[in-house]
Amino acid sequence: MEPDENTLVQDNLTDIETNNTDTKGLTEILLTKLCNQYEIGKLLFFSTIALASEDQNLCFQTDKGEYIAKVFAENRTIEDIEKEIEVTNKMIEEGFQHPQLYKNNEGKFITTDSDTKQNILVMDFAEGESFVKLQRPPRWKETTRIAEQTTLIHHTDYKPTDIKEKWAISNIHTLYKEASETRNFPVTDLELIRQAVAMYQSIPLDKLPHCLVHGALTKNNVLRKKWEEVIILNFSASDYLPRIHELAVMASDLLQDETLRVPEPLEVKTKYLVKLFNRLDPEFPITKIEREYLYSYTIAATAVSLMKGYSELQKTGKVNREFKLGHNILMNELFRRNY
């Protein structure tokens, strides 16, 4: 029997009366101020949840409801944050399933904390568990639900403010240069990334169909609700890009079964996604040129994920799923096939 969603929420939260560490004490102070600024009641519980982002996501409950405070990383500029809010609100207007964003008592979405100087966004709590927490890729019906939501994004006639995030696939050349100058970056991985850069360079990007994309459909950014329903979060990487960007990220992360010793071939994933999107969106079918370059784009997406994972590894000293998954896929796709 599937556990009740409310039980899942409650199990994830920490009673503030048992919060005695300095870090939790500071978090309690921050959230208490937010409750007052957004007029959303008295703080009862809170916890941290993980999304595929450098931002911190605090889940908290008040006597009026459940919310998420997205505490933006220091490297996120106001312009970057405003772009994310802009896209998120546009998609909510279009009927996309996303938690409602709140304005503070000054009528602004962004609150800058007077003590920490952190920029913060408050939204409704999203029930469900990420596929990272579930430790599996989406099943067929879940993937279909995700693709249905994604086509709504693709059909939204909208170009957001042109601000590129550091880990954008289009930034792969700069990221590779930085990686090659990084001390102790694994030599084998550098060679695999070099091949990925060459493959990306061969893609005629200007000839590919472009549209609004989510940009980061990874296991961290998709929650599974009851009855195989899903909700997509985190529009921080959203942009007007080649449509196959979406399929590439899904194939290289979301659909990967990380329990396998050897990853399934990327072409199996990409062909499946092409068929799925063509079935769900026959008026905007995947074109011949998109099919031709989807594999190369997916390899590039994998390489960027690997480099991002290594950057995080340097900070924490711990091997993370992005680095491990990126390494395993590129080894399987490029190294083993070539040697």
CB-CB contact of 274 with 168 (8 Å): no
pLDDT at 53: 60
Per-position pLDDT tens, the chain of length 339: 333 333 323 333 444 443 434 567 788 999 999 999 999 999 999 987 655 567 888 999 999 999 999 999 888 899 999 999 999 999 999 989 899 999 999 999 999 999 889 999 999 998 899 999 999 999 999 999 999 999 999 999 999 877 778 899 999 999 999 999 998 999 999 999 999 999 999 999 999 999 999 999 999 999 999 878 999 999 999 999 999 999 999 999 999 999 999 999 999 999 999 999 999 999 999 999 999 999 999 999 999 999 999 998 998 899 999 999 999 999 999 987 665
pLDDT at 25: 77
pLDDT at 3: 36
- Reduced to 3 states (helix: H, G, I; strand: E, B; else coil), residue 147 is helix
* Rounded distance between C-alpha atoms, residue 226 and residue 224, angstroms: 7
Please give the domain boundaries of the chain with CATH numbers for all domains.
Answer: 5-127 (3.30.200.20), 130-338 (3.90.1200.10)
Taking Cα atoms as reference points, which of 195, 170, 299, 321 lies closest to residue 247? 299
CB-CB contact of 209 with 287 (8 Å): yes
